Copies of this chain bind each other. A is one copy, B any other.
Amino acid sequence: MEAITIKDIARALNLSTSTVSRALRDSYEINPETKRLVIEYAERLNYRPNPIALSLKENRSRVIGVIVPQIANNFFSNVINGIEAIAYSRGYYVIIFQSHESYERELATVQQVVDRKADGLLISLSSSTSDVSHLRLLQEKKLPIVLFDRVSSELAIPSVTADNFGGAFAATEHLILTGRRRIAHVTIPPYISITQERLAGYRAALEKYGIAYDEQLVRYASFGESEIGPIIDELLTQSPDAFFAASDRLAIGCLAALKKRNIAIPEAVSLIGFTNTPLADLLAPPMSTVEQPALEIGQTAAGHLIDLIEGKSGQLNSETVRIPTRLILRASS
C-alpha cells in the first residue's frame, strides 16, 4: 500500500515539492513544459493526493457525520441513501453512526463525530433523547448541523422532516370519509417530534369532522417491543372500526395480531409507507399507506448541510423544511 507522494515525483524529476504541487494544481506561474512533465509523470504513477495530509493542513475532513437511531430500518436506510447521493456528488464522504435509541450512545456518538473532525453533522434524535444540550453545545462551537426526521423545537437548527401532520391528517380523513368513526391510533414513543406531529394531524382530522378525541384509542409502543399483541388487545376493548398505525412495523404487527386473533380487519392505514410497493400491494386488501419521502429527506438535509458547511446557506437558518407525503389508497376487498 506504499502510495506515491509529491516528494517522490519531485525527486524523480529533480524539482522541488512546491513546484510539483503547483504544477499539479495547474498554477499559472509554472512553465508549461514543467507542468506537462509533472502531470504526465504523476498520471503514469497514478499519483493521488493524500486526503489525510490535506485534512490536517486545511483543518477540514470532507466528511459528514450521520447519526441515526438504527441503520437496519427501511426508512433510515433510504434516508442515508439520499444523503450519500448528494454528499458524494459534492465531494463529501459520509460516516454513519447509530444511537440505538439510547441517549447515552447518542452522546458518545456525537463526541465521535466531533473527534473525527467531521465538517458537519446530520442527526435524527434517539427516542430517549429529551435533553438536547449536547447539540446546543456543538452549535455554539459553530459545527454545522441539520436535524432530520426526529427534530427538536428546542433547538434553533435547520431541520428537514416529512409533512407528518399532513400525512396523518390525510390518512385519518380518508378513514373518516369511508365511514369510520372509532379510529384507533397505534404509535411510536411520545417524546419524539414525529409522534406529536402525527398525533396532531390525527386529532385535527377528527375535529374537522366533529368526532370527539378519545384517549383510549391511542396507544404508544416503544421501539424495543417486538410483540405488540397486548397493545392491540387493549385497543380492541374499545371496539375500533379502523386502525391508523404510525409506522410500517406497527402496521404489520397490527395486521398480524388481528389475524392471529381471527378478527375481521377493518381498514388499516399505515403512516410511513413502504418503500417496497409490491409488499404494500400484497397486504393491501385492508391497507392503504402514507408514503414517506425518505430519499428526498436525505437529499434535502444533506444539501442544506453542505450549503452550511460551504457558507452558501441562503438564510435557511433554523427553518424546518417539510417534505410532502403521499397517500396511496388501496381498495378494500
Contact = CB atoms under 8 A, between A and B. Distances in A.
Contacts of A61: 52
Given A81-B71, A115-B48, A256 B281 contact: yes
Contacts of A129: none
A200 to B, nearest CB: 28
A25 interface: no
Nearest to A111: B48
A177 interface: no
- How many copies the complex holds: the figure is 2
A73 interface: yes
A70 B73 CA distance: 13
Given A1-B143, A72-B77, A276 B259 contact: no
A156 to B, nearest CB: 18
A13 to B, nearest CB: 22
A249 interface: yes
B275 A252 contact: no
Contacts of A275: 72
A227 to B, nearest CB: 8
Nearest to A61: B52
A257 to B, nearest CB: 8
Interface stretch (A89-97, A186-194, A238-246): A89-97
A249 B115 CA distance: 40
Given A61-B52, A142-B1, A143-B1, A252 B71 contact: no
Contacts of A70: 81
A278 B252 CA distance: 7
B141 A1 contact: yes
A93 B116 contact: yes
Interface string A67-96: 000111110011011001000000001111
Interface in A224-283: 226, 249, 252-253, 255-256, 259-260, 275-279, 281-283
A52 B53 CA distance: 8
A50 interface: yes
A279 to B, nearest CB: 5
16 contacts: A48-B115, A50-B56, A50-B117, A52-B52, A72-B77, A72-B80, A77-B77, A95-B95, A226-B278, A249-B276, A249-B278, A252-B278, A252-B279, A256-B278, A256-B281, A259-B282
Given A71-B84, A252-B282, A279-B279, 18 more contacts: A48-B115, A50-B117, A51-B115, A51-B116, A52-B52, A70-B81, A72-B74, A72-B77, A72-B81, A74-B74, A93-B95, A93-B112, A96-B96, A249-B276, A252-B276, A252-B279, A255-B282, A282-B283
